[in-house]
Amino acid sequence: MKEKLVLIGNGMAGIRTLEELLKLEEAGRYEISVFGDEPHPNYNRIMLSPVLAGEKTFDEIVLNNREWYAENGIILHAGDPVVEIDRVARQVKSTSGKSVAYDRLLIATGSTPFIIPVPGADLRGVIGFRDIKDVEIMLEIAASHKKAVVIGGGLLGLEAANGLMKNGMDVTVVHLMDTLMERQLDKPAANLLKASLEQKGLKFLMEAQTEAILGDEHVTGVKFADGSAVEADLVVMAVGIRPNIELAQQAGIHCERGIVVNDTMQTFDPKIYSVGECVQHRGDCYGLVAPLFEQAKVCANHLAQLGYGRYEGSVTSTKLKVTGIDLFSAGEFNEEEGDETLVLQDAAQGVYKKLVIRDNRIKGAVMYGDTMDGTWYFQLLREGTDISSLRSTILFGQHDLGDAGHGDETRVAMLSDDAEICGCNGVCKGDIVNAISTKGLFTLEEVRAHTKASASCGSCTGLVEAILASTVGEGYDASPNKQAMCSCTELSHDEVMEAIQKEQLKSMRQLFDYLNWKTPDGCASCRPALNYYLLANWPDEYQDDLQSRFINERAHGNIQKDGTYSVVPRMFGGLCTPKDLRAIADVCDKFEVPEMKVTGGQRIDLFGIKKEDLPAVWRDLSEAGFVSGHAYGKAMRTVKTCAGKTWCRFGTQDSTGLGVKLEELTWGSWMPHKFKLAVSGCPRNCAEATIKDFGVVCVDSGYELHIGGNGGIKVRVTDLLCRVETAEEVLEYCGAFTQLYREQAHYLERTAPWVERVGLGYIKQRILEDEVGRKTLYQRFKLSQRYAQVDPWKARADGAQANEFTPIQLAV
């Protein structure tokens, strides 16, 4: 006969405990009942702010729908809170009169918002910000009233203020302290935050002590200790929370500030466990999600009677996104006597970083604007790592590569597997990589579903996307489905591309000014995309901005996990001569290259080259006649070929010769993403042309042209575009298709999702049915190639304009 497990509280901590329990085989020992105060299934309270702001619906923040309870045999009593615990009879009683017996009881009653005990606090229109009902009241008042006061300048208060402002209200934030979010930020970071929020339209009253809430039945204003007052139709109190322990106290369970538990999450009654914000463990109460989920895992372990889990407290970090601004803090970030501080501040870019150091170990960290390295700093802090050798570069992140582009992939690649990525759910990098690899995950939503990383507050979304991009490689498309390009603008990729063409915007500055960019010089997310769009539209007028490119593209070398680079010289169609091989061998000997490898793209990759040697390596390769293989950029990569009819007894056409012509046509092309071609000499398809971005399969009567293929984890077989008779037609159709993709795809969108998005019919109409249009596209492609196919080393010597790096630029 099954034991009876009763959970009081249908919130995130309690249900997470059940989720952890259900992962264990021993979960079958229980018949589970859940009592919740609210008439809803379990939902994500962290996401109430986006619901208030109109960015999400309630259904989108539900974590476990009613079907989940039924599928797992859990009886849910929603909207029927427990009012009594009878420890002698081991049963609970609910508001509706239900009595349910238990063998094990789990209390997860959470916390309640603190309402300042001032006159008028009980007026209509004065509420906390704790559940979906509060959000519904705020939205109802915002629909018919205009003035709101939010008391509390912490995270919750600022999110409430932002949401109300987005609903058209005139919002004033009242804060008792002189700095916002004083528990998460030091004064410089708080001042940056305040200035940014004021620009968005929020008003602030700092060091203001509330004396009374004004009004008869409904609130009309707020009065302060200095005698001043402000009008208000709505007052939201977001000044803190208190553990909800009343029920436990009535049952005689030992409580102090919270319900006191030991390291196995047991209360003083061994049949009763407790987790979440209602708990006090080793003198501490936690309000962040990550510690609560750690507690949940330990509690589930002991409910399953495995007996080896212990909760020993949490070292916490806070990574937040407040009204679109990234913040991070960990440890003790307000320095004391004997501490050292390392500070990086760039007000123009809205970036601030401070590390508090003691005995060459990180004691605390606070970051504003750029928080990507927060995970790394937190790992160094938690592990007590000696940073003596890192002091000169540590503020620049995990590697000082000067990467102005998407360095996120490189940064996460250098994190260890036990580095915590999602603090809310305690998910490490290794957990995410393992799930992606073993389950074939391909999208952010799939990773969220399998690991819960990024499923709570969402502040680690960028890290999770970077891990996806790093792990999946070929197939991950980070940006096309996002509404806005980035936080610098509300415009989508399509809207920006249309404006560039329609308004003849031909420089970054013109673009930023005309489109009212929120940040003066853009950010690391939008600048690479904008640089590409401008270059694709105006190849003969726009000067490629090297600092808006990925470091790999600027250096023509691919960063490896040990910090060295690999270099791939181009070998057209995979052909080479003894002289070519000798030249590569000479470079390898001269620079002591530790490893050479023949790549899948029929070239030779030189591994282990130091960053400082890259200019000299490329100088020597250039003098031997080699140009960049672009194996590291958002560009045309390779044209893979088979032997063809010259040597192969099955070959129908000269596939190698055609491959060389295609590579000569397309090399040096900057693209929205990597772009690969292949030519197979017969339908046996040895060059794998039907999983390339543009593939050619030679047949007796001519050539089949294929588009939109993709290798990697998520394979997509190409669509057949058409059949042509001559090699010249292959080149024309290839150039036209490539130019159409270059001009219309979103940055970081590969051909496979692009073809699916715009439709094969549209592409056929532009390439096959519109002959004039096809030839125009081809001519535009060849025009752009005049400016792209300039050898950077020879161009420097000849004084010509190069769109690639020079030795001096790279050295800088």
Annotated binding-site residues for [4Fe-4S] cluster read: 642, 648, 682, 686
Contacts of 442 (CB under 8 A, 6+ apart): 468, 472, 475, 476, 713, 714
Structure tokens belonging to residue 124: 């209509």
Tell me whether strands 420-422 and 427-428 are parallel, antiparallel or unpaired.
Answer: antiparallel
CB atoms < 10 A from the CB of 143, how many?
10
Please give the Cα distance from 547 to 538 (Å, whole number).
18
Token digits for 49?
A: 């702010």
Distances (CA, A) of 808 to 407, 543, 578, 615, 805: 22, 17, 31, 8, 8
- HSE of 469, CA atoms in CB hemisphere, 13 A: 22
Q: Which residue is listed with tokens 């629909």?
A: 143
CA distance 471 to 6: 41
What token pair was written down for 736? 């036209």
Backbone dihedral angles phi then psi of residue 101, each to the nearest 5 degrees: -80, 155
Contact assessment for residue 214 and residue 222, using Cβ atoms and an 8 Å cutoff: yes
**What's the CA gap between 676 and 382, in Å, rounded?**
43
What's the rounded Cα separation, in Å, for the pair 562 and 467?
17
Collect all residues with Cβ–Cβ distance below 8 Å to 787 and sequence separation of at least 6.
539, 540, 801, 803
Binding-site annotation, residues = 642, 648, 682, 686
Torsion of CA 243, 249, 254, 256, to 10 degrees: 40
Contact 459, 326 (CB under 8 A): yes
CA distances to 292, 645, 710 from 34, rounded to whole Å, are: 18, 72, 47
Do residues 747 and 532 make contact, with C-beta atoms less than 8 angstroms apart? Answer: yes
Distance (Å, rounded) from C-alpha 534 to C-alpha 798? 26
| Cβ neighbours, 10 Å, residue 217 | 8
Residue 234's alpha-carbon distances to 12, 151, 216, 371, in angstroms, are: 28, 11, 14, 34
Concatenating the DSSP letter of every residue in 315-373 gives --EEEEEETTEEEEEEE--S--TT-EEEEEEETTTTEEEEEEEETTEEEEEEEES--TT
Distance CA 138, CA 164 (A): 8
- What's the CA gap between 586 and 617, in Å, rounded? 10
Angle separating helix axes 771-788 and 727-744, nearest 10 degrees = 80
Q: What share of the chain is helix, strand, coil (3-state, %, to 5)?
A: 35, 25, 40
Phi, psi of 677 (to 5 degrees): -125, 165
**Residue 526 phi, psi (nearest 5):** -90, -30
Annotated binding site for siroheme: 686
* Contact (CB, 8 A) for 501 and 457: no
- The DSSP 8-state label assigned to residue 718 in this structure reads P
